[in-house]
Amino acid sequence: MPCAPPLAAPSHCGPCAGGSSSFGIQLGTFGFKDQPVYTVDQPDGTGSVYSVNETFVGATYAQNFSDRFSAGLTAKFIFDQLGDAEGNAFAVDFGTNFHAMLNNHPIKFSFVLANLGTNLSYSGDALNADVPRNPLPGEPEVPTQPQPGELRTKDFALPTVFRVGLAYDLIARENSRFTLLGDFNQPTNAKAGFVVGGEWGLNRLGGSGFGAALRGSYSYTASNSAELTTLSTDLSSREDLQGLAFGGGINFTAASGFLLGVDYAYRHMGVLGATSFFTFNVGW
């Protein structure tokens, strides 16, 4: 079944399903636009706006090495826009998947090492600045024109993440299943976190090629416990909801093996509010 982004954990949509090897491409983007610009000199706003956008494109190759073990490698380019500044980087992800049976129910174990790559560096008009020409010590100050200059930025590493996941089908029937999912993750730039969730999947609805799934999860990261204020405010109540997510999806599988699916997921981002995710899947 298709997987929604907030419920990232081992599931039944592995890249090696149905063959000894597989190749795929992916595209993702996240951002916002038209945000007011505030400065110390103009706390009510300058009248201008800025936008933020993060985009990646990648290609994946995966291989079945046995009837129970598979592994895959993803290479991706990352593009980051922060106002008039732009950055880019290259990274790879590596993961493995092992599946077996426990009490006649499918169980899967996976680990992923993500974002191993180059440092992220920035350039662009936002780094341009006018540098005043200060007079030499002891010399009188005279009118001068500022000289063009460029701010120097420091490259920084991508947040490499190690993830371990486990999925177990509590209900495993011919055309329906209920899967419990668990995920432990350790990024290099924060404390460890985890995800717990479940997925109810249905196949061949009414004997057709249509399938559907419902999902729910809760994810914990170190930021969930951040103390934003010592007083109880509306921000505090919204922060308590951070990490909750739910969603679902439908797909169609033709007799030839062609698959078409769409997924939706809703996730609460704490003080940032709610976010919707849409995923479209095509396979053959």
User: What is the predicted pLDDT for the residue at 19?
Assistant: 57
For 101-117, what is the mean pLDDT? 93
Res 237 pLDDT > 90: no
Nearest to 1 by CA among 265, 280, 264, 250: 250
Contact by Cβ (8 Å): 241, 227: no
The DSSP string of 21-54 is EEEEEEEEEEEEEEEEP--SS-TT--S-EEEEEE
Predicted confidence band at 1 (pLDDT cuts at 50, 70, 90)? Answer: very low
Residue 121 has pLDDT above 80, yes or no: yes
Structure tokens at 259: 């698959």
Contact 235, 241 (CB under 8 A): no
Question: Rounded to two decimals, what is the model's pTM?
Answer: 0.67
pLDDT score for 236: 56
Q: Is pLDDT at 12 greater than 70 in this prediction?
A: no
Residue 7 predicted with pLDDT over 70: no
Q: Which of 143-147, 187-191, 228-232, 262-266 has the highest mean pLDDT?
A: 262-266
Confidence check: pLDDT of 36 > 50: yes
**Whole-number Å distance between alpha carbons of 31 and 44:** 24
- Residue predicted with more confidence, 10 or 253: 253
Residue 137 confidence class, pLDDT cut points 50, 70, 90:
confident
Question: Confidence class of residue 77 from pLDDT cuts 50, 70 and 90?
Answer: very high
pLDDT at 174: 86
Reply yes or no on whether the pLDDT at 32 is more than 70. Answer: yes
What is each CA distance from 160 to 61, 93, 165, 208, in whole angstroms? 20, 9, 16, 42
CATH of domain 5-30+54-123+150-283: 2.40.160.40
> For the chain, how many residues are written?
284
| CA terminus-to-terminus distance, the chain | 14
For residues 276-282, average pLDDT: 89
Tell me the pLDDT tens digit for each residue of 242-273: 888 999 999 999 988 899 999 999 998 777 77
pLDDT confidence band for 153 (50 / 70 / 90):
confident
Average pLDDT of the segment spanning 225-236: 51
